[in-house]
Structure 1
Amino acid sequence: MKRHLEWLLTRNYSVESIRLKEGYLRQFIQWCDERGVGRPQEVTRAVLERYQRHLYLYRKKDGQPLSGYAQHQRLTPIRVWFRWLVRQHRILSNPAADLEMPRIEQRLPRHILSVPEAEQILAVPDVTSAMGLRDRAILETLYSTGIRRLELVSLEVHDIDHERGTLMVREGKGKRDRMVPVGDRALAWIRKYLDEVRPQLMLGDDNPALFLSIQGEAIGATPLGHLVREYIRRSGLQKSGACHLFRHTMATLMLENGADVRFVQAMLGHADLKTTQVYTHVAIRALKEIHTATHPARLERAGETTEQKVTRLRQHEYIESSRRLFGMAESRKPSVTDAPDDTAVDGDAPCLNSSVPVGPKEK
């Protein structure tokens, strides 16, 4: 297994990704050892199917089963490992070649903060203390940019461009760099932290990390998660989560306020637009307004009439909202030209969605 992990490292996999794969492989190897399977050559398709059933029946500390995504995440490193063993001629056949993987659910984020709720959490740190001011800068950065936890702990001082109002994420998920805009308020808190707190936390001049711990080192990912979760708990909100809660909130609020889904995709660093489109189903405000205005089972509203509201919602705002909600680009209308039919190339099939009838070709 160690040689396989070294091979992944030479293929430029991130250290965090290799660490997770190693943990899942060790769980599988320990499970096999407990059942008398001590060598990779002894693993068969039936053994893998038993382990897959073990993951399906496994229960976490809170009594909940592993999701389809979690099961898939634990089985994928095993498939990669056995494929590598075959290529290295360490085993004759790959028992995981035809292993059917569990389906991954299309689940929505469990909790999303409203603007007042987000402000309530941001107000919890005691900004009169050094650590409280640092924590407020951290929360403001998470809320403004929506970056991941590991991306925040990897930030360095020179990654913040105060003049342009941007933040550089270096080697984010998938080892992709991206430039992210930062709001003026978050920049102001970062500047205040840099001027008043960070010099007190530094133990030397050679640490480039932006957010430092009380020991003078870069704050770790696990302590950061505990820190944010504690502030959410102390806010009194009946919602759970940590750093990713601000990521969900930022994406949802931007979509509800009219941001195009592709701009949100660029901010979040998603390689696939489908991943970002999950948030379009959470951004429900525009659909709620349309439902309230058009569904017959409603209470009468004073002021604007129903007809006026329907007319307003069916204009440009309605089109943009529908595009964000369902992830569908507005269909392009076919262009009708005055060119004669005999300009078509021989063998070309007529366009099925064209509104121009295609007749027989003139000789």
Structure 2
Amino acid sequence: MGYSSQHALLTPLKAWFKWLVRERHCLHNPASELELPKVPQGLPRVVLSVEEVERVLTTPNIEAPGGLRDRAMLELFYGTGIRRMEMANLSLYDLNPSRKTLLVREGKGRKDRLLPVGDRALHWAERYRREVRPELISGKDNGHLFLTDQGDPWPINYLTALVRKYLRQAGLNKNGACHLFRHAMATHMLDNGADIRYIQTMLGHAKISTTQIYTQVSIEKLREVHKATHPAKWQVREDERVALLEALESEQSEEE
């Protein structure tokens, strides 16, 4: 069992014993000296490029009601970086087109946060809300923004399967689903110069250290600094560059 799983299992156990002592059901807290394992902050294994994200976003068939709805959800995943549970819990009025904001109610840690929504994501979400959602309502309207074909709120495992389906259709055989758009949003914003504190707010991280992992994934700024300051830089003629790439490709083919 990994450190993350151990941490997830032991945390509620410590809280339970603490509650038992506070409510005087126990005289002593046997978990008071229990040290939680430190969860390693590993880099995201897969980060989609801007081109790959665009390929996935344009995969749904927007001529079909379900495809238009799916496009709206994918755009919001990438545009706001929300988690799949937060997407599933969005209510009809959490999206404010006049203010161009999305209210995430009781996200991780039961905290609300207000996020900006870009024009493109807002366009597709509004098209879905006007053109498709009324047709999906069956019986009493439960107020959820996104509904399945049966008119129900989205279970989170269904969201995972949906996003994974579009990744495969876009020709991306990569592990992951909804969280890939969250990683991509954070990395691409950092590549374009966003301050890490704003990324923290967008993602809803309680600690800046959780967000700082994306600074290790964002390579563009590091590449610029390396190119500008490394003393071993030198110019390559175009014919030499092409010859080098051809040699590398030939070498890779031989290895395969």
Note whether the superposition's TM-score is higher than 0.5. Answer: yes
> Helix, strand or coil for the counterpart of 1:197?
helix
Aligned equivalents of 1:168 and 1:92: distance in 2? 43
The structural deviation recorded for 1:221 is 1.4
Aligned equivalents of 1:101 and 1:147: distance in 2? 28
What is the aligned partner in structure 1 of residue 210 from structure 2?
Answer: 275
1:102 equivalent to 2:37? Answer yes
1:143 equivalent to 2:78? Answer yes
Q: 1:301 to 1:180 in 2, by over 3 A?
A: farther
1:196 equivalent to 2:131? Answer yes
> Deviations along 1:36-55, whole A, 9 cap, x unmatched?
xxxxxxxxxxxxxxxxxxxx
Q: Which has the larger radius of gyration?
A: 1
What is the aligned partner in structure 1 of residue 200 from structure 2?
Answer: 265
Q: 1:161 to 1:89 in 2, by over 3 A?
A: closer
**Residue number among 63, 66, 69 corresponding to 1:131 in the alignment:** 66
Aligned equivalents of 1:172 and 1:302: distance in 2? 52
**Unmatched tracts of structure 2, length 5 or more:** 239-256
What is the aligned partner in structure 1 of residue 188 from structure 2?
Answer: 253
The structural deviation recorded for 1:297 is 4.2
202-211 or 166-175: bigger deviation? 202-211
The structural deviation recorded for 1:226 is 1.4
> Helix, strand or coil for the counterpart of 1:167?
strand
The structural deviation recorded for 1:244 is 1.0
1:292 equivalent to 2:252? Answer no
**Unmatched tracts of structure 1, length 5 or more:** 1-57, 59-65, 304-363
TM-score of the pair, normalised by structure 2: 0.86
Identity among equivalent pairs (%): 53
249-258 or 277-286: bigger deviation? 277-286
> Deviations along 1:115-136, whole A, 9 cap, x unmatched?
1000111122111211111111
Aligned equivalents of 2:35 and 2:196: distance in 1? 33
> Deviations along 1:281-312, whole A, 9 cap, x unmatched?
11111111222333344441579xxxxxxxxx
Supply the AA of the counterpart residue of 2:104: V
Number of matched pairs: 238
**Residue number among 206, 214, 219 corresponding to 2:154 in the alignment:** 219
Instruction: Give the alignment of 1:110-125 within 5 angstroms.
Output: 110-125=45-60
**Contact kept in structure 2, 1:232 and 1:241, CA below 8 Å:** no
Aligned equivalents of 2:23 and 2:91: distance in 1? 40
Q: 1:87 to 1:205 in 2, by over 3 A?
A: closer
**Residue number among 129, 142, 145 corresponding to 1:207 in the alignment:** 142
The structural deviation recorded for 1:205 is 5.6
The structural deviation recorded for 1:81 is 2.2
Relative contact order: is structure 1 or structure 2 higher (C-alpha 8 Å, sep ≥ 6)?
2
1:229 equivalent to 2:164? Answer yes
1:93 equivalent to 2:28? Answer yes
Aligned equivalents of 1:191 and 1:81: distance in 2? 44
Aligned equivalents of 1:301 and 1:187: distance in 2? 45
Supply the AA of the counterpart residue of 1:81: W
Aligned equivalents of 1:155 and 1:291: distance in 2? 43
What is the aligned partner in structure 2 of residue 80 from structure 1?
Answer: 15
**Contact kept in structure 2, 1:233 and 1:240, CA below 8 Å:** no
Aligned equivalents of 1:146 and 1:301: distance in 2? 39
CA RMSD for the aligned pairs?
Answer: 1.9
> Helix, strand or coil for the counterpart of 1:109?
coil
259-268 or 201-210: bigger deviation? 201-210
Q: 1:296 to 1:185 in 2, by over 3 A?
A: same
Aligned equivalents of 2:206 and 2:102: distance in 1? 19
